[in-house]
Chains A and B, each alone.
Chain A
């Protein structure tokens, strides 16, 4: 049993104007469901006419916790958070609570916009003055705006950092003069290919390529001519390899190729032969023809049960020296224990038996 209330007069202590200042979105609904008074902000929302004297259920739709069909059922909503919306206009969602007034004077509802406040402020052109000084709604709007600005800055910063990172990464893996891969990129790629080959991949060919007679070009025509020749060499190497291959410059006149997906000896030989033939065409530098050639050493990943980058480099190097000893301008295939046999038919390729 509730204690009896003697507070009929209490309701009169606060006039509707004062109530409107304290709660700009209040509604006073009579026991028969008519709106007796409304806060100024709520009145502003209902631009379709004065709320006072209208039926509450004609102007508002109560949706949660359950639809309200008749004012007779309103007591069930007391003390709960109710979700409702305007019946006309932009159907702004509202939240609020309902409490009974003493002395059978009806019901007092206090409403707010809830989380959809930004939209409501825009749709109803609300201002600072439409919110009670105790209400933090304006701060919520402030935070929303600040958050967007800060997120925008962070997104822009992230984009700039990502570009700078990509740029630095590219530079760290590129030979500045020729734009080819550098030693770091080669080490990374070769380690990856060895790993893949050991796990049953198709395999690859490693080609070491040393320029012949390049020092003579540098010594007689100068470094600018040398740089020009190196750029031409890089261009030829790009033309004669696939996009998926690695072409690296690893020293002054030393280049290394990883030919992917071509485990056959004759493929690697054909590539090396074609490159050497092209390199032997005179390269024009300011009207002076520069003549170079190259010696190549080839080894195949398939010649090793478990290909090891150091072993491959060392074997390809030996093959390269063998090519130089054999008169330069040719490609030589390294023999590794258990490697493929010779006799592929290429003139330029010679099988060096027992090189190790």
Chain B
């Protein structure tokens, strides 16, 4: 599994539940307590052990943990910005999800996201089919879609319907004022900002 995925899990657990929880999960999963390198690759088994250990430590079902991870990812501003590049509103964003794995590959060639295919079943009903790959991606995408609805100010129901798809019912396209998105990147403060984020 790509280090970015493991690092996401690590940052999510540490920032949401505290360092102590992260350390106990990492120890239970025989993962490096000091953390993962975002730009290296790791054995898939480590990721599976991490998810399992988090499930036990948090006392939550696996899908719920991973959906929370998806929502957490969108709260990370650089990633939110990258997602917002895909469309001007939530519907445009949904319809561009087919492109998302390719966009991710533009960023990190070996990221290994599963293929995505979105179908509009009605003007406000969409089904996202997640291709073969790690089963953990589907609930993470569900969390991302839920958080992005908020980001665009849309009101949508996002549900995991079966083993391969996610259903999105758009109740209102502009329910609230969404969060701002400026095409121009915010001005960088210092060259060490990236190091500090790590």
Contact = CB atoms under 8 A, between A and B. Distances in A.
Contact of A152 (B182, B184, B194): B194
Contacts of B194: 148-149, 151-153, 155-156
B152 to A, nearest CB: 12
A224 interface: no
Contact of B185 (A118, A126, A128, A153): A118
Contact of A156 (B40, B107, B108, B195): B195
A145 B39 contact: no
B106 A146 contact: yes
B86 to A, nearest CB: 8
Contact of B39 (A118, A122, A154): A154
Nearest to B38: A153
Interface residues of A, number: 28
Nearest to B84: A128
A145 B38 CA distance: 17
Contact of A128 (B81, B106, B108, B183): B183
A144 interface: yes
A122 B184 CA distance: 5
B183 A141 contact: yes
B107 A138 contact: no
Given A125-B182, A128-B183, A153 B85 contact: no
A306 interface: no
Given A128-B88, A142-B103, A155-B194, A150 B183 contact: no
Interface in B46-70: none
A177 B99 CA distance: 59
Contacts of B20: none
A125 B82 contact: no
A121 B82 CA distance: 16
Given A142-B85, A146-B82, A146-B107, A153 B183 contact: no
B93 to A, nearest CB: 11
B45 interface: no
A121 B184 contact: yes
B52 to A, nearest CB: 27
Task: Summarize B's interface: helix, strand, loop or mixed.
Answer: loop
Interface in B164-198: 182-185, 188, 193-195, 197-198
A321 to B, nearest CB: 49
A152 B85 contact: no
A115 interface: no
A121 B183 contact: yes
Nearest to A126: B183
A143 B106 contact: yes
B37 interface: yes
A18 interface: no
A19 B27 CA distance: 62
B78 interface: yes
Contact of B81 (A129, A143, A145, A151): A145
Interface in B90-134: 103, 106-108
Contacts of A168: none
B90 to A, nearest CB: 13
Interface in B10-46: 37-40
Contacts of A159: 195
Contacts of A143: 106-107
A146 B78 CA distance: 9
A138 B185 CA distance: 12
Given A138-B183, A145-B185, A129 B195 contact: no
Contacts of A122: 184
Contact of B198 (A138, A141, A144, A156): A156
Contact of A150 (B85, B108, B198): B108
A142 B82 contact: yes
A159 B198 CA distance: 12
A157 interface: yes
A127 interface: yes
Contacts of B108: 150
Contacts of A118: 184-185
B85 A138 contact: yes
A127 B87 CA distance: 11
Nearest to B40: A157
Interface of A: 118, 121-122, 125-129, 138-139, 141-146, 148-157, 159-160
Given A125-B184, A139-B85, A150-B39, 13 more contacts: A125-B182, A126-B183, A127-B183, A141-B183, A142-B106, A145-B78, A148-B188, A149-B78, A151-B194, A152-B195, A153-B38, A153-B198, A157-B38
10 contacts: A127-B183, A128-B183, A143-B106, A143-B107, A145-B82, A150-B107, A150-B108, A152-B193, A156-B198, A157-B37
Interface of B: 37-40, 78, 81-82, 85, 87-88, 103, 106-108, 182-185, 188, 193-195, 197-198
